[in-house]
Amino acid sequence: MAQDPGADALGIKAALVVDDDETARNLVINNLRALGVEEIDACESGDAAWEMLQKKTYGLVVLDWKLPGISGLTIFNRVRKLKGYRYT
């Protein structure tokens, strides 16, 4: 069986997708899976995302800017200051 040429194209083991729009969130998740990302966590709010980011390290974080609770921009700025996220 031929391997999907997009499999593991990103070289990312774990990703976090944060969007309050379910359709957008699922679209991103499906595309990441097609690129070979197997471990994908998702949530709908900035508060939930911030909790998840403190418990686990992700190679990729996809954020909506306008989120319930903490904004995506605020999370982005916080993540840039966390150890372990220098190259995320």
pLDDT for the residue numbered 83: 81
- 31's enclosing H/E stretch is helix 22-34
pLDDT along the chain (88 residues), means of 10: 50 94 98 94 97 93 95 94 81
pLDDT for the residue numbered 24: 97
pLDDT for the residue numbered 40: 98
**Largest distance between two CA atoms of the chain:** 46
Q: What is the value of pTM for the model shown?
A: 0.85
pLDDT for the residue numbered 87: 78
